[in-house]
Amino acid sequence: MKFKRFSLATCLLLVFSLPVLSWANYSPKAVFKKGNAAYAKGQYNDAISDYQQLVSDGYESAAVFFNMGNAYYKNGDIPSSILYYEKAHKLAPGDDDINFNLKYANLKTTDRMDEVPEFFLGRWWRDVILISSAENFAIWSIVFAFLGSGLLIFYFFAGSVNLKKGAFYASTLLFFFGLAALFMAGSQTSYFKSHHEAIVFSGAVNVKSGPSGQATTLFVIHQGTKVNTLDTSNGWMKITLANGNEGWIKSGDVQEI
């Protein structure tokens, strides 16, 4: 009986330990490299599978999303490539490679539309807050705060009046830059939170005048088109396009960014 109890306990220990041991051996960096290697060999489905594993496990980054977008593009899946380029753009809006590939992928879509004219100050402010990532802005705010604190400490110990003045004004300026960087990080986060966007995945979508299949068809949009989502109702989603047109589509026709 003692031997049987010991065997059962050992089995239970192994059962509960194996997932822990497997997780301990799990390396996101190794999976990312594996995906990159598969991509380099032209094995795009395998690369997508590896990148998707990282996303499913909560390891999201601009690099992962960007590489997924590239793999989907090579596979000829334009809507998915645009979706992941957009996800990468949200995390690194100032990245030139991401922005270039996103624009290039959008050239492969069917719909072409002129954007609603935007007041130049609003456009300028958006370009400013999207010049880098919110994470970078936050890092710079911390750097400026540390530098400003260091100069403030130097101010108290400086023996010369001129050194004291220089340290004081410089520290004030650095604290101002730190607050500005923090404000821009918050503004960028608020910008993306207030812009709920999605990518059309169905080949052709009838945009209706209301949340019903019997409603009048206003116009048709195609896969790969980005829409702004305004509201949802019983499996329908109210959307607006870059040219200002609005209407309702089925929620299943899009994937949110």
**CB of 200 closer than 8 Å to CB of 220:** no
Q: Average of pLDDT values for 142-147? A: 95
Q: Does the reported pTM lie above 0.85?
A: no
| Residue in the structure block whose two tokens are 């995906």 | 35
Residue 195, by phi and psi: left (phi above 0), alpha (psi -120 to 50) or beta?
Answer: beta
Q: Average of pLDDT values for 100-119? A: 88
Query: For the residues of 115-168, what is the DSSP string, one character each?
Result: PPP--HHHHHHHHHHTSS-HHHHHHHHHHHHHHHHHHHHHHHH--SHHHHHHHH
Instruction: Encode pLDDT of 55-86 as tens digits.
Output: 999 888 999 999 999 999 999 999 999 999 99
Residues composing the chain: 257
- Which 3 state secondary structure label does DSSP give 226? strand
Torsion of CA 20, 25, 31, 34, to 10 degrees: -140
